[in-house]
Chains A and B, each alone.
Chain A
């Protein structure tokens, strides 16, 4: 398996500030549209999911990475290839559960939250929850049901930003029901 992202199409590099600020505008608008943070978190996750199911195709086409053999390999690819490609950062992979079905991504600096200070009345808002949805949606497309959630967030006063990933099950491919 090649770890190199030999890109077939030139990725159009763009200023990440534009992305960060656009995301900020999106979250701000959602906070206005919905009464409570829970609902905003849910919407962000849903949007992320819809992005993830498409993004995975772009990722596979660009990285020429094959199917992962186990969850550890998946973790590596997410942290070292995917996060690098789309956000320009490489989170560290830690806190493996003994069974090897759970791990954490530690984000030293979260590009989505570059210029953000959460006001006190939004202490349950998971600002970067879009990422959870993206990860869940993308992995679902490669037959992995995964639970993704932010367990720590620097925006809420934690020391690091930590995304916890839990492998639930392999989604089996079925032959569509035929008439015969």
Chain B
């Protein structure tokens, strides 16, 4: 049970925030390139999912998993995208992502007039609160991983 890393993208594809907790393997490319790659994949999955769906969807793309990890995706109607990678034992992180959006991002970034949310967020408070929130999650326990 563990949380690997977390990405937050704005509607234009800028990576607003990134942090990692228990990531054993790095991508081997620069972080900027990794963010672009990640965003490009998310963008493609979104359009793939919406074109392939045989029925009208409500939430669209939710998550995918491989043999080793699961990627959880949450997008707000305003286009903010939150991505959390965990191991396979975490079946649904939707509420976790919603909590990060409504209780951390909205409260600490949107309501802070000196934080503009167009480029990388540099709020000490946000990153430390997010860090302690992730560490307090029931499925955060790197040792068991």
Contacts and interface: CB of A to CB of B under 8 A. Distances in A.
A8 B39 CA distance: 28
Interface in B68-91: 76-80
A143 B99 CA distance: 23
A54 interface: yes
Interface string A126-155: 000000000000000111000000000000
A61 interface: yes
Nearest to A54: B110
A58 B40 contact: no
Contacts of B43: 175
Contacts of A56: 78
Contacts of B110: 54, 57-58
Interface in A59-80: 60-62, 64-67
Contacts of A66: 58-59, 77
Contacts of B79: 141-143, 173
Contacts of A58: 106, 110-111
Given A142-B78, A175-B43, A8 B36 contact: no
B6 interface: no
Interface in B52-66: 58-59
8 contacts: A57-B80, A57-B106, A58-B106, A58-B110, A61-B102, A65-B77, A143-B79, A176-B39
Contacts of A143: 79
Nearest to A176: B13
- Shortest 10 CB-CB contacts between residues of A and residues of B: A61-B102, A176-B13, A61-B106, A57-B110, A67-B77, A141-B78, A142-B77, A57-B106, A54-B110, A8-B102
Given A8-B102, A61-B102, 17 more contacts: A8-B98, A8-B103, A57-B76, A58-B110, A60-B76, A60-B77, A62-B102, A65-B77, A66-B58, A66-B77, A67-B77, A141-B78, A142-B79, A173-B79, A176-B36, A176-B39, A178-B40
